[in-house]
Amino acid sequence: MSIDGVTLTRWYNAYDQASGKIDTSKNLSIDQMASGLVRTYWQANGVVGAITDSAPAGTALATGVKTMDKFIGVSEEKKPLATILETSKNIGKATGLVATSQIMHATTAAYSSHFPDRSKEAIIAEQQVYNSIDVVFGGGYGNLQNREDDEDLVNVLKNQGYQYLTDKKDLTNAKNKTWGMFAESAMSYEMDQKTLTPSEPSLSEMTKKSIDILSKDKDGFFLMVESSKVDWAAHANDPIGMISEINAFDQSVKAALDYAKKNEDTMVIAITDHGNSGLTIGNKQTDTTYSKDSVDKFVAPLKKAKLTGEGIGKKISGNTDNLVKIMAEYGGISDLSTEEIAQLKAVLNDEKKDKQALYGSNMQALYGQLISKRASLGFTTSGHTGEDITLYTYLPNDERLTGTINNTDIPKAIAKIWGIDLSKETKNYYTDAKEALEKLGAKVSIDDSDQNNVKLVATKGKTTLEIPENKNYVLLNGKNKELESVAVNVENTFYVNNKALKLMK
């Protein structure tokens, strides 16, 4: 999320389309929380990178450690790192994850799983299911069933005592341990939900329900909420998608603030993991006019849109006969040129052949170009950017994080409040099992007869200890023994909770 995205969203909300008036006093909920800046660079193997990806950025925010590109919850040496979610859980706090992407996507994965490849969502999903998180809301049920390891993770959740939800109407009945999977992969942009996916809840609805459930725990709670598709819209250079999800994020922050201000014992931090797209309010078209251009030049064209670029693509659904009508009715563009119509048809035909952009669709990217041209908005890239990002914090005693800090400082600040030492907890949760068990005199081997369910096996006298990958239990002479954290297998090196080692006599 970029600062210009926040600014554009504020102006968008302030502009009244009917009267053309602008309410300059209109603010976002996050505005009252701005307290500093955050540096987002990555660092590993002696290299410092200015522009980070979501996996190392998420890992920094979750663990307080900088790491390699594509790494999730592991150090540059590929060793698992204890996350602030895991450590808060293990001191008795309730925990929750909410996202509008698939919950296995980079940021939420970094808080709840460990693997040196963010694309391995099947592995990430299994670790998440076995990581005993109290509330999980988002998309991604496609990673829970019809898996190569033949494990039905929905049944696993139900057997663990979770309520499993798939529809917005079921959200009101959620009371305790709950997994809500509202889409096969990512959820829709919030602006598109009413028209295209009315069964999906809003981000603020998921946030409020999470707080309702988690706040019942007398020991307190940790909740991480992500408006995931701000990033995706930025990749597609779709300003409507960006505004949709920044507003969704702001409403979820409001829900958290309302709770925090009422209870006066809660810290709220709102940030992005990195910049994206280089959005500018103003472009080459405004080089000589910017000092005379009023706000409505930049937001009036955007106000005409009723769907994001992704939503428009779904509404057209490959039928180019209704393209012009839908672009006018839902995209807010009624003056398409002959050349633009030809461009749109060519993109739609390409997408029939599954030639898609990295995030979103080529249709969304083209729509972003068309609407941005009309709104005099600029974009420098379809990728991430390296600027410092805004830090938004709230604490009832006003001991907020201020100044310019590092992204790794954020989990450390939370850990300090709760008396947690993240480095120490990493040593407790993720010990090299083979090395430790051999020191105890055990014979250790890897059983990879089932490539999708690899396990470490240790024997010593009459004792056999089996450690299945991605599970929060071990088998001691065939009997399940539950652990506080999952066993992580990285290239046949197993990392396991120290409690498992104590079982080997």
| CB atoms near residue 397 (< 10 Å) | 8
Q: Is residue 307 located within the same domain as residue 388?
A: no
**pLDDT tens digit string along 403-418?**
999 999 999 999 999 9
Q: In terms of pLDDT, which residue wins out, 368 or 351?
A: 368
User: Is 45 domain-assigned?
Assistant: yes
Q: Is residue 245 located within the same domain as residue 309?
A: no
489: CATH: 3.30.457.10
Sign of CA dihedral 271, 143, 181, 235: positive
**Domain-ending residue, one of 377, 405, 439:** 377
228: CATH: 3.40.720.10
> Rounded to whole angstroms, how far apart are CA atoms 427 and 80?
9
Question: Is 397's pLDDT higher than 90?
Answer: no
Q: Is residue 195 located within the same domain as residue 240?
A: yes
User: Is 16 domain-assigned?
Assistant: no
% pLDDT > 90, the chain: 93
- Give buried/exposed letters for 268-285 (b at 16+ CB in 10 A, else e): bbbbbbbbbbbbebbbeb
**Amino acid 51: pLDDT:** 98
Residue tagged active-site, from 2, 29, 35, 54: 54
Rounded to 10°, the helix 338-352/362-374 angle is 160
- For the chain, how many structural domains are there in total? 3
DSSP-derived letter for residue 134 is S
User: Is 21 domain-assigned?
Assistant: no
Q: Is residue 329 located within the same domain as residue 466?
A: no
Owning domain of residue 396: 36-280+383-427
User: Is 460 domain-assigned?
Assistant: yes
pTM of the model: 0.96
**Domain-ending residue, one of 427, 442, 463:** 427
Q: Is residue 75 located within the same domain as residue 192?
A: yes
Neighbouring-strand partners of residue 39: 406
Q: Is residue 63 located within the same domain as residue 142?
A: yes
Tell me the two tokens of residue 439. 């020191």
Q: Is residue 373 located within the same domain as residue 393?
A: no
Q: Is residue 158 located within the same domain as residue 63?
A: yes
Q: What is the helix (H) or strand (E) element at residue 192, kind and residue range? A: helix 190-196
**Amino acid 354: pLDDT:** 57
Confidence class for position 465, pLDDT limits 50, 70, 90: very high
Q: Is residue 400 located within the same domain as residue 364?
A: no
User: Is 10 domain-assigned?
Assistant: no
How does the average pLDDT of the chain come out, rounded? Answer: 95
Confidence class for position 261, pLDDT limits 50, 70, 90: very high
**Amino acid 321: pLDDT:** 87
User: Is 9 domain-assigned?
Assistant: no
Q: Is residue 172 located within the same domain as residue 132?
A: yes
User: Is 405 domain-assigned?
Assistant: yes
Cα 387–Cα 69–Cα 78 angle in degrees, nearest 5: 140
How large is the average pLDDT for residues 224-250?
98
Contact 202, 254 (CB under 8 A): no
Picking from 271, 270, 226, the residue whose alpha carbon sits closest to that of residue 248 is: 226
User: Is 30 domain-assigned?
Assistant: no
Question: Is 350's pLDDT higher than 90?
Answer: no
**Domain-ending residue, one of 427, 457, 488:** 427
Tell me the two tokens of residue 258. 């309302």
Q: Is residue 105 located within the same domain as residue 175?
A: yes
Annotated catalytic, 215? Answer: no
Q: Is residue 210 located within the same domain as residue 334?
A: no
